[in-house]
Structure 1
Amino acid sequence: MSEIELDAGSSHEAEDENYFISMTDMMVGMLFLFIIMLMMFALNFRKGDEDAERIRNCLQAVVNENAALSADVNTKIASVQQTIRGPIEALQVAADQRQKLLTDIKSRLEAEGIQQVEIDEQNGVVRLSERAIRFDPNKSDLDPAARDNVARIARVLEPIIQRYSACQDGATDHCSGHRGAVLETVFLEGHTDSTGVADPVQRDRNNWQLSTERATNTYREILADQPELRQFRNRRGEQILSVAGYSSTRPITAADGRDFWARNRRIDLRFVMDAETKYGIDDIRAIKTLNDEIRQQIERMAQLNQEGTSRCR
């Protein structure tokens, strides 16, 4: 083999060797690059896992705090329900008793010949039309027919008020201990129509006086026929029968005309049961306090949810 051929062979072998060295270096470099990328991925994955754990713990803390607030809210709601259960039950019993009372009075009045008696169950009113107790315009005196009807009304009221009174005069020490629904007050309410003298100021003054006088005269006539009604007392030992005048401020109808005015000139009997006044301001305050606390807890829960969304990112 000639020297030229040897030199050519050596040159090709060197080139092949350099090529493989370059390929090896490149593969090693790529391997290192892959290892570096794998390490970066592992680090990022670990960081992501740590972030997920942090977010999970943060959200769990928010959930736990919300759960505590929810439990507190449920406790307060149960307390509100317990607070109002007694008054609601007492009011329901009183409403049922008053409905029976009104129905009993109406049927007894009709049996006595007092017709066109209306009942307003929602407000506890027995409405006596002008046919039952008639007053002439601008007059408060009872005519003979009205006196006769008032005497019948008194005879109906006496046994019913006795049945629903807490006690009687002379035994007032036992009034507060009466159990069950009893009468607090029976108002004899006088009403006028909106007519009268031309001057509105004087007309208003006259109608207030007129309505009160009509109620008072009816009251006196009832007691004259059934004086025992003075003895019946509520739980506070106060006389049950009372009077009130409302002028033309509570009309049955706002229409004008003699028939409508006659409807508005009337006497109402308003029955107020004890349960309607026994549960008063203290119960309302207790319920209001609990309601305010519940509202604050709910607002705090909403605030926690908003804070948790920002804090746990």
Structure 2
Amino acid sequence: MAFIHETGSGPDHHAEEDENYFISMTDMMVGILFIFIIMLMVFALNFKQQTDVSVEQIERLEQARRQAEIVADKLDALKEEVRLELQQIDKSDQVRSALLQEIRTRLAAQGLDVEIDLANGVLRLTEDAVRFPTSSPILNDLASANVRKIALVLREVLPSFASCAVKEASCSRDPKATSVETVFIEGHTDVTGADEANWQLSTQRAVNTYRLMTEAQPLLRSLTNRAARQIVSVSGYSSTRPVIDEKNSVAYDTNRRIDLRFVMEVDDGKRLREVLELTNKMEGQLKNLRSAIDAADVQ
């Protein structure tokens, strides 16, 4: 279980324990290429201003042209890697949406209504499903019964989306198939009470929900991701993520809740899209470099 007392920058926040190797390597490559392009442009522009073109200068110009072609090839390869990664992320989002909809359908068949946020991968256990008294982490009888229903549905659905169902066993699931990295049981409070107490309270609500789920369905603790780590974990957010950002009894009841957040092995593509945008800009700079070299060549 991972206890998280922050809103999104912690080392254990939403499957970000380990740095994304692909993105870090991509950033490094982009940085190197960007600096290299700038150097070539400076060279080409300086060269263009010269009127006395020697054999040595012509050779330098030709070398610059060849280097520009190499940069162009590397950019194309980098952009293709990013496109493939984004395709995988899109596929991951589709799989997660199917998972959430399947869970909601099965819970509805048991008379339990929940909300889903497909964009953020969240299954929201409304106050009608799991309610907490004010300033209390205790699940009442109705909430406990509903948590057991949720645990049963997770037991039925999650193994098909997990990398491995039993850590010690050989997994027959395709290792390349899209799978769940983490399911965070997230505890929340309303805005009343001391903030320091609410951090502890929100985490305790998540912990109590986790304990009841895994006691009712012990297999949930055997579900692991590709790193052979347990999928089901917990986090607490105090009152920092309200569903209704108001100060009234309805908002308080709604915000004292449990969310289940599903994080896939391939996570958010925002950073990759930023890298792709940067490569597009670099491509424009490369075209300017080629134009400058060509102009210098004809003088």
Q: Same fold (TM over 0.5)?
A: yes
What 5-or-longer segments of structure 1 have no aligned partner?
1-60, 197-202
Larger Rg: 1
Structure 1 match to 2:93? 95
TM-score, scaled relative to structure 1: 0.67
**SS in structure 1 at match of 2:267:** helix
Letter of the structure 2 residue corresponding to residue 169 of structure 1: V
Q: Say which SS state the counterpart of residue 78 (structure 1) adopts.
A: helix
Q: Which residue of 2 aligns with 1:223?
A: 214
Q: Distance in 2 between matches of 1:280 and 1:125?
A: 18
Residues 171, 86 of structure 1: alpha-carbon distance in 2 compared, 3 angstrom cutoff: farther
Report Cα offsets for 1:116-155 as digits up to 9, x if no partner.
x111111100011111100001000011011000010011
Aligned equivalent of 1:159: 156
Matches of 1:227 and 1:190, distance apart in 2 = 21
Aligned to 2:240: 249
- Partners of 1:125 and 1:266 in 2: CA distance: 13
Structure 2 residue aligned with 1:134: 131
Corresponding residue for 1:110? 108
Q: Which residue identity is paired with 1:264? A: N
Equivalent residues in 2 for 1:15-30 (5 A)? Answer: none
When you count helix as a share of all residues, which structure comes out higher? Answer: 1
> What is the number of residues matched between the two proteins?
242
Shift of 1:275: 1.8
- Provide the residue aligned with 2:196 in structure 1: 205
The CA RMSD measured in Å over matched residues stands at 3.7
**Shift of residue 73 of structure 1?**
5.5
Given that residues 155 and 226 in structure 1 are in contact (C-alpha distance below 8 angstroms), is that contact kept between their aligned partners in structure 2? yes
CA distances 1:276-313 after superposition (whole Å, capped 9, x unpaired) = 28x999x899979967964663453465478x49x94x
Cα pair 2:65 2:290 within 8 Å, conserved: no
Separation in structure 2 between the aligned mates of residue 181 and residue 161 of structure 1, nearest angstrom: 12
Distance 1:184 1:234 in 2: 5
**Residue pair 1:175, 1:234 contacting (<8 A) in 2 also:** no
Q: Classify the secondary structure of the residue corresponding to 1:168.
A: coil
In structure 2, do the counterparts of structure 1 residues 170 and 233 end up closer, same or farther at CA, with 3 Å as the change threshold?
closer
Deviation at 1:64? 8.6
Q: Contact 2:163/2:173 (CA < 8 Å) preserved in 1?
A: yes
Unmatched 5+ stretches in structure 2: 1-58
Superposed displacement of residue 79, structure 1: 0.7
Alignment partner, residue 9 of structure 2: none
1:90 Cα deviation after fit: 1.6
**Aligned equivalents of 1:180, 1:86: Cα separation in 2:** 15
Structure 2 Cα separation of the partners of residues 302 and 119 of structure 1: 52
Structure of greater relative contact order (alpha carbons < 8 Å, 6+ residues apart): 2
Percent identical pairs in the alignment equals 36
Cα shift at 1:172: 5.7
Q: Which amino acid aligns with 1:215?
A: A
1:251-270 correspondence runs (5 A): 251-270=242-261
Q: Which of 209, 226, 231 is 1:240 aligned to?
A: 231
Given that residues 165 and 171 in structure 2 are in contact (C-alpha distance below 8 angstroms), is that contact kept between their aligned partners in structure 1? no
1:183-216 deviation digits (Å, cap 9, x = unpaired): 10000000111111xxxxxx11110000000000
Q: Which amino acid aligns with 2:148?
A: A
Mapping of 1:29-178 within 5 angstroms?
71-72=69-70, 74-115=72-113, 117-171=114-168, 174=171, 178=175
Task: Check whether the contact 1:118–1:128 (CA below 8 A) recurs between aligned residues.
Answer: yes
1:224 and 1:142 map into 2 onto residues whose CA distance is: 14
- What's 1:300 paired with? 289
